[in-house]
Amino acid sequence: MTIIVNGSNTPTAGAVGYGDGTNLAFTSAGTTGQFLSSNGSSAPSWVGAPASAMTLISTQTASSSASISWTGLSGYDKYVMIFENLLPATTSSALFVQVGTGSTTYVTSGYAISGTINSNYLYTHSPYASGVFYVGSATAIYMNNDGTTNTNQGYSGNLNLFNMNKNNDTCFQGNNVYYVNSTYGYECINFSGFLVGNSTTKTAIQLFMSSGNITSGTASLYGISS
């Protein structure tokens, strides 16, 4: 088989060849991270990566840390956090989350929390039903009602945050899986809550333990644009 190529165009490094209907032509070289986009019968062109509805802001790794935090947040009203094996340095420490405003002033009051536990053992907080706990005005969002005693496996789960920059209550919702002790085994807790009556734009998020540092583990924060 004989292939006849018309034209004498010389490609630059990184260029891609295409047919212009008569000759073999070449695009210019793109830049790092760009994609080649078709323009129908016209020459293809280099474009930036398409926008994603879910963008990774950063992944934080704990190392005997007093807290894990993200500051200077902007551009999103909704966030999703994935945390894995956040191990407390102090046995039975619970995992908390707070949001901050302005130049990282964390809000320490006005959180309302409720949740249910899916495990073999249910937590009862009178006068609420078995398996349900409630705190009407707290200093932070409780992401579990009791702490792990496992020295190798910490807290793993996710956290969704809504209404971070609107003039209404910021909403928290998520779940947390962790080992309690040899008597109670593992617990899977679903938690939710609000920061009530605070209309200031939230620009920071922090995770911390009820006592002591976070020995190890990771947490990734994503901004949601959809």
What pLDDT is attached to residue 136?
56
91/158 same-domain check: yes
91/44 same-domain check: no
Overall domain count for the chain: 2
C-alpha to C-alpha distance for 177 and 155, rounded to whole angstroms: 6
108/186 same-domain check: yes
The model's pTM: 0.73
92/30 same-domain check: no
The CATH number assigned to the domain holding 167 equals 2.60.120
- Of residues 198 and 204, more confidence is placed in 204
148/109 same-domain check: yes
What pLDDT is attached to residue 84?
97
What pLDDT is attached to residue 115?
60
Compute the average pLDDT of residues 218-225. 96
Other beta carbons within 10 Å of 11:
14
Question: 208: number of CA atoms within 13 Å, CB side?
Answer: 15
Q: What angle do CA 129, 133, 139 make, to 5 degrees?
A: 155
Report DSSP state, residue 23: S
157/209 same-domain check: yes
27/92 same-domain check: no
Residue pLDDT, tens place only, 160-197: 999 998 767 899 999 999 988 888 788 888 888 888 88
By CB neighbour count within 10 A (0-12 exposed, 13-18 middle, 19+ buried), where does 74 fall?
exposed
At residue 19, does pLDDT exceed 50? yes
Q: What angle do CA 77, 83, 86 make, to 5 degrees?
A: 135
116/182 same-domain check: yes
Measured CA to CA in angstroms, residue 84 lies from 26, 90, 189, 216, 218 at distances of 47, 17, 15, 9, 5
Percent of the chain with pLDDT over 90: 39
90/172 same-domain check: yes
Residue pLDDT, tens place only, 21-67: 777 887 788 787 678 778 887 788 877 766 678 899 999 999 999 99
1/44 same-domain check: yes
What pLDDT is attached to residue 147?
80
114/172 same-domain check: yes
Structural domain of 115: 54-224
Q: How far is CA 90 from the centre of its chain?
A: 25
